[in-house]
Amino acid sequence: MKLLKKALLLLLSLLVIFIIYLGFNTLNFNSTQIQHSPINNINLDKSSISNFSKAIKIKTISPENSVDFDSIQFYKFNAFLKNTYPLTDSLLVKKNFNSFSFLYKWEGINPTLKPIVLMAHIDIVPVIKENIPHWKHDAFGGEIIKDTIWGRGTIDNKVGVIGIMESLESLLKEGYVPQRSVYIAFGHDEEIGGLNGAKVIANHLKKEGIEAEYVLDEGGYIVQQLIPSVEKDVALIGIAEKGFLSLELSVKIEGGHSSMPENETAIDVISNAISKLKHNPFPAKISPPIEHFIKHLGPEMPFVNKMVFANKTIFKSLITSIYEKSASGNALVRTTTSPTIFNSGVKENIIPHSAKATINFRIIPGETIASVIDRVTKVIDDQRITITKGEFISEPSKVSSTESFGYKTLHKTISEIYPEALVAPYLVVGGTDSKHFSTITDNIYRFSAIKLNKGNIKSFHGLNERLAVSDFETSIKFYHQLIKSSTSK
């Protein structure tokens, strides 16, 4: 009996120590948010909204098939930029790459300071012909209905192009002189990999010996009630992005007449391989970007959530299980597996002799293209299947610092323009042109100063892409203030 009491007392003591440990970590899980006085004195040009509307009307589409590329539309956009922003065009040094991508240089007066690079892309994804009747307003009309601008590219990513150009033109009119140089990089083929646009620009900067203080591209947003247990708006700064890999699985097996099928056909073999991959997902893990996300946002959550994040080593499985419940959360904690193309067969009564499928993987930091291929090969475990890499591949990016000048300046600027928003680092699950700039800086950030919520998050690359006029105007103010904060004395 005494032994039992001692054992219970020991267990109780351990429980008390455990609770104290959890409480201590929770109480010392301090906020990383910073406060700055709001900036309200940035004036906007009256023509800015009209300029944005005109930009949306130009169909700078990056098609999957290069034969469908409409150069006329891109030449129209070139002329639009030149005519709409005459000071930027004439006072900044401008270089053209592959006809439709641009690099502007605003020379700073202090050559000892590293330059900054602001990025956006001119091209947009197509509007699927069958979906046109489902658009509430013309996809290329640039219509301004009440407080909203409608059209393909409003979010992705002409808001970046026009927001930057409007801010430059405004600063030049003010006579502002930057201490450090500012480079503006506009690629024209981001939606198909950026190989002829951003990559060429980045190679040029590398050849010129440019080492940037930081690079800012699209990728993070101000999300509204999209993060569980967080009521406030959250400005997500992408400090890394996932890698990209598509693998084609193919097999050839004797076909024949559908009335006499063998036990296994080519379609069966590929279908079974896909099933194996889907039923054996990559392991969930808390990668470095998510570690930073937890560190910056966890202290702002209700007590129970805060306690879980403050003790993430203990509650790692609980955290990943929560994220796994949604598609967006699942993408943050693992390399995802998405079958996207399946090809086989030509006639209903002929068993095909071959089948192919394309599987797209978005690779989490900490894994590599090689490790993904190795795991896929082992999971499928079928020597009859040939595995071939797609033409466009990219490794997961480096993880940028949250202690750098660039991150701190972004945080400060967001707090000045969006004083009510929380700020947190983030893992971008898609791809951006910024990956090509890793040769000129370790500090690459991804943030667009616009709001996403359940009402519009599916609209870019989808139906009824649109942006609030107030978001566009605030985006201009954001770039205006960011440039000044980054390049002042």
Q: CA-based diameter of the chain, in Å?
A: 91
Q: Per the omega criterion (within 30 degrees of 0), is the bond before 157 cis?
A: yes
Q: Which residues are bridge partners to 241 per DSSP?
A: 428
Could you give the angle at which helices 469-487 and 158-174 cross, rounded to 10 degrees?
50
What does the H/E/C string look like for 403-470? CCHHHHHHHHHHHHHCCCCEEEEEEECCCCHHHHHCCCCCCEEECCCCEECCCCCCCCCCCCCEEEHH
DSSP secondary structure string, 254-284? --EETTS--S--HHHHHHHHHHHHHHSPPPP
* Annotation says 190 is catalytic: yes
C-beta atoms surrounding 67 within 10 Å: 6
Q: Nearest 5 degrees, angle CA 277-CA 280-CA 283? A: 120
Collect all residues with Cβ–Cβ distance below 8 Å to 14 and sequence separation of at least 6: none
* Cβ proximity of 449 and 474 under 8 Å: yes
CA–CA gap between residue 350 and residue 390 (Å, rounded): 29
* Annotation says 442 is catalytic: no
Q: 295, 379, 284, 296: which is closest to 336 by C-alpha? A: 284
* Cβ proximity of 450 and 155 under 8 Å: yes
Q: Residues 156, 166, 169, 190: which is the catalytic one?
A: 190
Q: Mind telling me the catalytic residues? A: 123, 190
